[in-house]
Amino acid sequence: MAAHVLCVTPADALIDVPRSIRVERLAPGQPVTVAASTRRSGVQWRSEASFEAGADGVVDTARDAPVSGSYSGASGMGLVWSQAPVGSKSRELFNQPVAEPLVTEITASAGGAQARATLVQRLAADGVTRRELREDGLVGTLYLPPGPGPHPAVMVLNGSGGGINEPRAALYASRGFAALALAYFKAPGLSDYISNTPLEYFQKGLQWIRREVRPLHDFVAVSGQSRGGELVLLLGATFARQVSAVVAYVPSAFVHSGQNACDPKIGREGPTWLLNGKPLAHLWENNRTASWAPFDEGPEPHRHERAIRTALQDPGALARARIPVEAIEGPVMLLSGTDDGSWPSSVFSRMVRDKLAEVRHPHDVQWLDFENAGHAILFPCVPTTQLVYAHPVSGKVSTGGGNPADNARADEQSWAGVLQFLRDAVAARGASQPS
């Protein structure tokens, strides 16, 4: 029998494209070990799994479960999502600049021979352009799809880690959306902390997109995760006519205090958001039941959501801090995990969904709630193994919850759902406008 071969199809594509990984020309039942290695932002990430060939002499990762290794169960991209950093605690999944592709070297070892193949993942499609924004107090990066447009637009907002979410913006642009990744802290020229962030800053960002991009059907959605998920619901409710749709990843139904991203001088129970120069009431404010002890003193790995749940026992505080989502004037999509270790995003999303149902929200409302998934819902075909980490601002160590397999499933299904939701929202807005 000829030496075995390793096939990756397609070998080079956008990061959200699943690949076929097959080892062929094996003897039925022959053992084979497949390893995958990727350099991400200078750190090597690796996975390995051992298989037995099927009766057809093939190992197909989408069909065949490994007998041992970095993951279990059949998974076409298991060799990617099960990768872990070698000798490092890195959580950096992408290269800088983000247009630099991720190159994964795959080897298949069997019978003393080794076959090799390369898998290339890209965040930016051919023709996507990048422009830095450093004007009028705004800090961010604009990614534009290929072609003259006009294109529908999305403003992309990070969570409590701050910074500029260029990977998601680049992928949005690769799928046809003008995407502004707007920073609001922990970026050049901005505060290092989330405390006392004025909502008018984001209104200015929405205005900038409309002025510079001139989006299709005047469509500008907002997309954010975690504190960014809280924020996009708040923006939709506050600047309703300027927000065409809301995509809220692992959001809150309430305004929260600074928490782990706070300015230490203000403290984690200090305000996060300002409107007209005044702090918005938040959940921890005058809350009779709230306690940080379940997080600070609870068993390892620490779960921030245990503390948040104590704050949900005071009805008065809930009423004062609730985001008035019924004021949103466009479609809303919610994404959550039932094992969210950062805060109970599943509970929060249900509250938002129920309130919108109660008021008979006239636009599309979708909720994807992923069983056993945690806080880190990203997009497909990225490692999901780094569950415990130090918060990038406070340094407090905790878990985002979930497990690698269920988090990978949430990554895959959430992104497909978001793209369809946004395309439907753009179409609906176009149909409602005069020709």
At 290-321, the pLDDT tens digits run 999 999 998 889 999 999 999 999 999 999 99
Q: Write down the CATH number for the domain with range 129-430.
A: 3.40.50.1820
Active-site residue among 340, 349, 361, 411? 340
User: What per-residue confidence (pLDDT) applies to 432?
Assistant: 83
User: What per-residue confidence (pLDDT) applies to 1?
Assistant: 47
Cα separation, 37 vs 77, in Å, equals 13
Selection from 14, 376, 429 nearest residue 161 by Cα: 376
- How confident is the model over 88-100, as a mean pLDDT? 94
The DSSP code sequence of 334-366 is EEEETTBSSS-HHHHHHHHHHHHHHTT-SS-EE
Give the list of residues 6+ apart from residue 195 with CB closer than 8 angstroms, or none: 258, 261, 262, 263, 266, 270, 271, 272
Task: Please state, as a whole number, how many other Cβ atoms lie within 10 Å of the Cβ of residue 327.
Answer: 12
At 213-234, the pLDDT tens digits run 999 999 999 999 999 999 999 9
- How confident is the model over 6-24, as a mean pLDDT? 98
Indicate yes or no: pTM above 0.95: yes
Phi and psi at residue 418, in whole multiples of 5°?
Answer: -65, -45
Active site includes 340?
Answer: yes
Residue 315: Cβ-neighbour burial (10 angstroms; 0-12, 13-18, 19+) = exposed
Average pLDDT, the chain: 97
Active-site residue among 47, 75, 223, 226? 226
pLDDT band at residue 241, thresholds of 50, 70 and 90? very high
- Residue spans per domain, the chain: 5-122, 129-430
Active-site residue among 4, 302, 304, 375? 375
User: What per-residue confidence (pLDDT) applies to 435?
Assistant: 58
- How confident is the model over 83-102, as a mean pLDDT? 95
Cα separation, 84 vs 71, in Å, equals 11
Active site includes 72?
Answer: no
Task: Please state, as a whole number, how many other Cβ atoms lie within 10 Å of the Cβ of residue 269.
Answer: 17
Inform me whether the pLDDT recorded for 249 exceeds 60. yes
At 171-211, the pLDDT tens digits run 999 999 999 999 999 999 999 999 999 999 999 999 999 99
- Can you name the CATH fold of 5-122? Immunoglobulin-like (2.60.40)
Active site includes 226?
Answer: yes
User: What per-residue confidence (pLDDT) applies to 299?
Assistant: 84
